[in-house]
Structure 1
Amino acid sequence: MPVQPLTQSFTSARPDGLDGPEALPPAAARGRLRVAVVTSGGVDGDSRALRVAAAAHAAGYQVTLVGQAPATVALPGIEVRRVAVAGVLGNHRVRRPRPGLRWPLAYRSAGAYDHRTVQLAAARQLLVTRSAELDLVHRPLPLLALARVGHALAWLRYGVRAGWTRMRAAQYLAAVRRRRSPVARLDNLMTDLARLALGRRAWRRLDPSLLDEEVAYGPVLDQVRPHLIHALGHRALGVAIRAALRAEGGGHRIEVVWDVPPRMPAASRREGVAGDAHERSFAREADGVVTVGQGLARELRARHRLATTPAVVRNAPPLAERPLTHPHGVRDRCHLAPEVPLLVHAGPVTADRGPGTVIEALPKLYDLHAAFVVPDPAHPDVAALRERAEQLGVHTRLHVLPYVPVAEITAFLASADIGVLPVLKLPHHQSVLATRYFEYAHARLPVVVSDVRAMAAATLELGNGEVFRAADTADFVRAVGAVLTNPRRYRKAYDRVDRLREWSWQTESAPLLDLYTRLLGPRSRAEA
């Protein structure tokens, strides 16, 4: 069988499988209308942004994809605009912490800290150089003795200065850590006071990094002048609504579609309150809302009192005519023979995703290897995972690989034996099928998932894998063992029903393009 090209088709199609003009919105609704897809993160790894942009382009719209680095992906016919967020406002609190009574000697700014610490390092280098000079240069004994006494006094002065500088530097770093993780009672009190005093406008004070993004993204959207902005996440929503207001003030109408992911737990009360205030400020201003699950759609309608329930557009990969092959798939990258059992975990390895369960299970799974495909192999969370694997003596069976381009994900994963999703039972995991779940399915991988509601129900219904109790290592070992005993049984589940077509971007993008048509349909070419 010939090897298919790695680039998967993102072309949208109707759920009944028809392609071509009959699958697209009416020509009058497309014409030369411009769509901007805005993501607040990097473009390359954002599969949702890439799939939305490609679907809009296939439907006949002129598409501009706007996001941050890395943004090296090339999509035919789609303009990619990379923005750089300077972070001046968002980092001001960290660069100039207020030490207060707890750290009274801390440096007052990052500039002062950098200047003093570098100056200290330079002084030490000069003293070490002087020591070498005294050893090498010949002098009469009285002059040499005098020079060495002076040099010893210089070292003494340096020691006093070093102690003072290091004490102030340590207090500065402690103040910075406090600013980066504002979880103390006083921080929470100030957050609550800001919420009470400012209401929905509290985000401006609590998370000024949102204004950094406005400075970076706003001029780009003003220049593009789209007719519709597809904003991914609440951070992009604010940028989009403000751009629409400015455009409408100049006589140009912009429709805004808000694409809502599951709500991640906030690292602090300050972050949570700021995100909630920002979302409430702009949620009802969006012209259309889409999300990734029915439960989340109902929750959004109730939370923001939306006029209609958001459309559900799950982030599933495109359906290939036959399984794709990859010349350097995950098994090849791990240098493993076909008979060696291999499970794969794709995505970040934050604690809420349960990667620790996999590592703790490896000593009991003997020759099983585990591959973690992560966005940043040098991330501290990955380092902690490696360290734990070394402590357990299984580090030789742990493989950490970088992300591959979005269009290659399914083919890249297909050579593994099991796809795992050991996520913890937190609210943002309960109500939706994860993107990785769909990617494992399109790779025809048996899955082992924790007992969160949506994924457990789908797995039990389809029979494509096993469900285990979240964070229960022994039950995870049982589930993996069951799949490895008869993997063919679980792979056959993908052949029994037309589930993969249902779980495909061709099907999922149809409601999104219908929404675009409803919002842009009345417009004509003259408005472009």
Structure 2
Amino acid sequence: MSAAERGPTRPGRVVMVVANRIDGDSRVQKSAQSMAEEGWEVHLVGLSVARKPEHYRHGDVEYHKIPVPKMDPPRTFRQRAAALQYPLAYRESVRAGHGMQRIKAERIEIEAMDAERGRDGLLRMPRFVRRAGRKVQRVWIGRRIDQTKARDRHLARENGFLDRVTRRWWKLLLGDRVWRRLDNDAVRIELALRPEILRLEPDLLHAHDMYPIGFCARAAETLRRRGKRVKLLYDAHEFVPGCDTLPADRFESLVRYERRYLPYADAIVTVSAPLADLLREHHGLDRTPAVVLNAPLTPDPDRPDPGDVRSACGLGPDTPLAVYSGWAAPERKIEMIIEAARQVPELHVAFLVNRPNHPYVLSLIALGERYGMAERLHFRGYVDYADLPRFLSTATMGIHPMQTGPINHEIALPNKFFEYSHAHLPLVVSDVKTLSQEVRRIGNGEVFTSGDVGSLVTAIDKVIADPESYRAAYRDPATLAEYTWERQVHQYVGLYEELTKELPR
């Protein structure tokens, strides 16, 4: 976009902060680029897997990716008790494997010495003495290995009595500051990103999701003490008290962390109207947070042709093709799609996932091979968010098997809903509340019972039988008019103008 096409130059430097690697987080990337096009100077700060910081410009945004330092988590009561209960255990579990190799090496050495006895003329201990010494070594190492395994099994049991005692103790002692003792991810991320935030001296800090709200609030206070005026916008991507499927310590930590630092925000924005209502009710807010839906950009005809998913899979126009595009993790239950495709022999499935070589994705590939349907499953990486709807548009349907139960699932209108819709795909979605209600309202897909493979198969068969009846919902331009990023971004613009109106122009 040329300077003439951008909005007026705005006062102030915006620093957006996210606790991930930025790549694949379309909401963060779109918001950064859009605010830069509206005239603000935008810096996007996130995490790097490289050893050194990465600084580069992409579009109109300056990117800063910082590696996170390694840091041992605080020792829990259970870990301290395990050290007393299993005193012979190796400090690091990997050393137990080294001990096994030492036993094997010594056994080979005894055999070799017996075979070479007398050849070099050296005086050797009697054989029974050597064997007795090696037996003592084997017993000692074996005992240490046994205790190491027992200790690891003990530590693998989450949320036991000592864990609950630990949490209660630190909550009593520290209150909401207990997050520092229960989960050190926030500490590590703050160590990485805080210096960069302070160096950039923002006028507006835009904290994306739960981790950045805390250390952005702390950085803002530091800047204010130095005489710098700075505003803080919290972009709540999830209802943190609804993330109760997380490990107990991490869940308690994040709930307390958000509760402590959310009041520092000068304004709050979130991803859906139900979540905005929950945030206002739960935190006692005076003002309902603004809503910016995770809608995609309107396709730009001037962008290079990204290709299409059907051609990428090498399939003809008559082959049924379902797509799943998004984060691949065990809690997403993506294997359910493979289980259903197994019962629809003509169906191919394309998975556009964040990490094609991740162990979970590899397990999905192995599942397809075990079922003898590997040639019908196609795994590839993400497509640029600006090209995704266009790329997906040649598929037969888009599937999202989101599980019912977790409150964040029930209130979500996820990226996939908007991306599949803008690709004019029939949707096959689970019966989570908000998503299923919207699909039924528009009439652009089928709803199946969460966790029920048979119900998913039935929904897939219905779409394959008559896909055009579902695509008909998109013929009215008004259907998706509100569900475009260009429409949604005005909420950001309004909040930015409100927060930076006192800055000198």
TM-score range, shorter chain: 0.7 to 0.9
Write out aligned runs for 1:135-154 (5 A). 139-140=118-119, 152=131
Shift, 1:153, TM fit: 5.1
Partner of 2:71: 88
- Whether the aligned pair in 2 keeps the contact of 1:214 and 1:239 (CA below 8 Å) is yes
Q: Which amino acid aligns with 1:234?
A: M
Does the C-alpha gap of structure 1 residues 461 and 140 become closer, same or farther in structure 2, counting only changes over 3 Å?
A: closer
* Structure 1 residue matching 2:228: 3-state secondary structure: coil
**For residues 413-492 of structure 1, what are the structure 2 equivalents within 5 Å?**
413-426=392-405, 427-492=407-472
Unaligned runs of 5+ in 1: 1-8, 12-18
Structure-to-structure mapping, 1:30-179, within 5 angstroms: 30-31=10-11, 33-69=12-48, 75-89=58-72, 91-93=73-75, 97-100=79-82, 103-105=85-87, 107=89, 109-110=91-92, 113-114=93-94, 117-118=97-98, 121=101, 124-125=104-105, 128=108, 131=111, 139-140=118-119, 152=131, 155-178=134-157
Change (3 A) 1:141 1:183: same
- Once the two structures are TM-superposed, the CA of residue 278 in structure 1 deviates from its matched residue by 0.6
Greater mean deviation of Cα atoms: 151-160 or 237-246 = 151-160
Q: Does 1:371 align with 2:371?
A: no
Counterpart selection for 1:401 from 350, 355, 380: 380
Deviation at 1:409, TM superposition (A): 2.7
- The question of 1:410 aligning with 2:389 is answered yes
Q: 1:129-161 CA distances to partner (integer Å, 9 max, x unpaired)? A: 6755765x6955998997876765565354324
Q: How does 1:225-244 map to 2 (within 5 A)?
A: 225-244=201-220
Aligned residue number for residue 14 of structure 1: none
- What aligned pairs does 1:278-427 form with structure 2 within 5 A after superposition? 278-321=257-300, 329-426=308-405, 427=407
1:516 partnered with 2:496: yes
Partner of 1:5: none
The question of whether the paired residues in 1 share the 8 Å contact of 2:299 and 2:387 is answered with no
Counterpart-to-counterpart distance in 2, 1:489 and 1:308: 42
SS at match of 2:24: coil
Contact 1:105 1:171 in 2 (8 A): no
TM-score normalized by the length of structure 2: 0.88
Conserved 8 A contact 1:99-1:175: no
- Indicate how the Cα distance of structure 1 residues 102 and 495 shifts in structure 2: closer, same or farther if over 3 A, else same: farther
With over 3 angstroms needed to count, the CA separation of the structure-2 counterparts of 1:397 and 1:185, relative to structure 1, is farther
Q: Following the alignment from structure 1 to structure 2, what is the Cα–Cα distance between the partners of residues 473 and 163?
A: 46
Does structure 2 conserve the Cα–Cα contact (< 8 Å) formed by 1:97 and 1:109?
Answer: no
Name the CA distance, whole Å, in 2 between partners of 1:148 and 1:335.
68
Superposition deviation, residue 404 in structure 1: 3.2
1:198 match? 174
State the identity as a percent. 30
Shift of 1:102: 8.4
Q: RMSD of the alignment, in Å?
A: 3.2
Q: Secondary structure at the match of 2:39?
A: coil
When residues 242 and 143 of structure 1 are mapped into structure 2, their CA distance, relative to the original with a 3 A threshold, is closer
Match of 1:4 in 2: none
Q: What is the Cα deviation at residue 384 of structure 1?
A: 4.0
In the alignment, the residues of structure 2 paired with residue 374 and residue 20 of structure 1 have an alpha-carbon distance, to the nearest angstrom, of 34
Residue in 2 that maps onto 1:213: 189
1:289-317 CA-partner distances (Å, limit 9, x unpaired): 00011111011011111221100001111
Conserved 8 A contact 1:347-1:373: yes
Query: Would the alpha carbon gap of residues 141 and 220 (structure 1) be closer, same or farther in structure 2, given more than 3 Å must change?
Result: closer
- Preserved contact between residue 325 and residue 411 of structure 1 (Cα < 8 Å): no
CA contact (8 A) 2:19 2:212 kept: yes
Change in CA separation of 1:324 and 1:471 when aligned onto 2, cut-off 3 Å: farther
1:260 and 2:236 are equivalent in the alignment: yes
> Which is further off, 494-503 or 282-291?
494-503
CA distance in 2, matches of 1:320, 1:407: 7
Query: Match of 2:80, SS?
Result: coil
Tell me if the contact between 2:48 and 2:68 (Cα under 8 Å) persists in the aligned partners. Answer: no
Please name the residue that 1:273 is paired with.
Answer: 252
Deviation at 1:405, TM superposition (A): 3.5
Q: Deviations over 1:208-234 (max 9, x none)?
A: 322222211111111010111110112
Q: Is the 8 A contact 2:296 2:484 kept in 1?
A: yes
Gaps of 5+ in 2: none
Bigger shift: residues 379-388 or 233-242 = 379-388
User: Larger relative CO (CA 8 A, sep 6+): 1 or 2?
Assistant: 1
1:389 Cα deviation (Å)? 3.7
Q: CA deviation at 1:200?
A: 1.6
What CA deviation, in whole Å up to 9, does each residue of 1:242-264 have, x standing for no partner? Answer: 01000000100111110001233
Q: 2:473 and 2:372 mapped to 1: Cα distance? A: 35
Matched residues, number: 497
Q: Is the 8 A contact 2:88 2:144 kept in 1?
A: no
